[in-house]
Every structure is written in C-alpha cells, then in structure tokens.
Amino acid sequence: MPIRRPADARIEPVVFLRPWRVFQLEDGSRHLCGGEGLFGGRVSSTVMLIDYQAAMAVTQSGRIYQLVGEPGSDADTDYVWKRWSAGYNVVRWTDVTPEMWSKIQEYQQL
C-alpha cells in the first residue's frame, strides 16, 4: 500500500476514523491513527484539542477528526502507523487509547 500525504485541511476539513487509536510520543504529543474506509489508514498531525463528549479532536493542521465507534485497529492502520513512525524516526510511543476511550465513555454518559 502506498503512503500518501493527506489533502490540505481546507480541502478535507473533517475525517471520520474507524477503527482508531491514540499514540503519545516521547515529547508528549499525541497522534490519532485510524481507518478511513476504502482509503486505508492515516496518522494525524499533533492533537491540539479533544472534545470527549463529541468524540472528536482537532489537530495542529486544523483538521477535525471524528472518532467513530469503539477504538481498535486493523491491518491498514497498523501498517500506516509502522510506516509513519519509521518515517519520523519515532522509536518509542505509548498507546493511550484506553485512557481516551474511558474519558469519551465518561463524558458521553453525562
């Protein structure tokens, strides 16, 4: 599967991710990784704002990511994360998906 750069956030302002995960890098930045239906997977720029009640995030690029359903992964998203992390020389990260999912569930029950 080829890796491509996403369209500018002005052209593609909202992305729906299913399945999805959240990774925190050593510098503290968080990135979403998820599936885009027929288009495979993608990794976001740094997450700047999270709305747990709406299950969405805004990234450094200005793009809005809507997190659809429960978190998870598949072959496409695993592949994209591995390629992205290698391309940016990321050797350590923490999967903070359970923490984020817990907060989403908590806020959605309010």
Q: Residue 109's pLDDT is what?
A: 84
User: Is residue 2 in a domain?
Assistant: no
Q: Residue 39's pLDDT is what?
A: 65
Q: Residue 12's pLDDT is what?
A: 87
User: Is residue 40 in a domain?
Assistant: yes
User: Is residue 5 in a domain?
Assistant: no
* Total domains in the fold of the chain: 1
User: Is residue 97 in a domain?
Assistant: yes
Strand (E) or helix (H) holding 87: helix 75-87
pLDDT per residue as tens digits for the range 8-23: 788 889 999 999 999 9
Nearest to 63 by CA among 94, 29, 32: 32
Nearest to 95 by CA among 16, 15, 20: 20
**The total number of residues written for the chain in this structure:** 110
User: Is residue 48 in a domain?
Assistant: yes
Mean pLDDT (the chain) is 92
Q: Give the predicted TM-score (pTM) of the model.
A: 0.92
Range of the domain at 22: 14-108
Whether 67 shows a pLDDT value over 70: the answer reads yes
Tell me the C-alpha distance between 92 and 85, whole Å: 9
